[in-house]
Amino acid sequence: MLKVFGCVLRRDLLLAYRRRSDVLTTLFFFVIVVSLFPLGVGPEPDLLRTMAPGILWVAALLASMLSLGRMFSLDYLDGTLEQMVLASEPLGVIVFAKILAHWLVSGLPLVLMAPVLGIQFDLPTGQLGILVLSLLVGTPVLSLIGAIGAALTLGLRGGGVLVSLLVLPLYIPVLIFGAGSVGAEASGLGAQSHVLLLGAGLLMAAALAPWAAAAGLRISLE
């Protein structure tokens, strides 16, 4: 299973490298959305510091949703997904590899770009560290949950709108704890509880989401 996991992961990363424009679209969307807020709100430092965690997290959430449609659709169109479903290896392992590849090309760049964008909002170093940590723990949860919605809406007309309706309510706790961790650090309460809750959500999603997405793929292919 580990060999299959590695093969699927390498394959998806290679395909993403060949379609770099799709990856850059997600990153540019994140950068543009975050950069527009200081221009629209004004140069008030206190206001920008207060709004920064929510803005960065909402932008990361929307950027993650922007790339969900590509997680399974290309394999569905060329027939590769059917071969994966018929393979002797567990489909959940294959789906987990695809989710990890999706996060590496669409979630990890957002995490790496967040400290640079946080400087626009005059965030202190300590809050920048908490922001990066919360995104590092929280964005994989977005990919894991989003995979379920992407699997259930695969091949449907207007699937992009449907997947948004499915996953947005499930994203809300991640958004609350992710943005709240930076706010708690700023108020002196400490961000440990928020980060631990995000970590618990990550463990639960990693254990359950690949198998739920695999079941959704089987339903969509029937």
Tens of pLDDT along 45-93?
788 888 888 899 999 998 888 888 778 877 787 777 888 888 778 888 8
CA–CA dist 177, 86 (Å, integer): 39
In 10 A of CB 221, how many CB atoms? 15
Q: How many domains does the chain have?
A: 1
Query: What is the DSSP code string of 109-122?
Result: HHHHHHHHHHHTTT
**Tens digits of per-residue pLDDT, 176-202?**
999 888 888 887 787 888 999 999 999
Q: Which SS3 state, helix, strand or coil, does residue 195 take?
A: helix
Q: How much is the average pLDDT of 13-37?
A: 86
**Tens digits of per-residue pLDDT, 93-148?**
889 999 999 999 988 999 999 888 888 888 888 888 899 999 999 999 999 999 99
Q: Is the pTM of this model over 0.75?
A: yes
**Domain containing 22: what range?**
2-221
On whether the CB atoms of residues 163 and 65 are closer than 8 A, the answer is: yes
User: Is the pLDDT confidence value at 158 over 70?
Assistant: no
On whether the CB atoms of residues 199 and 109 are closer than 8 A, the answer is: no
User: Is the pLDDT confidence value at 13 over 80?
Assistant: yes
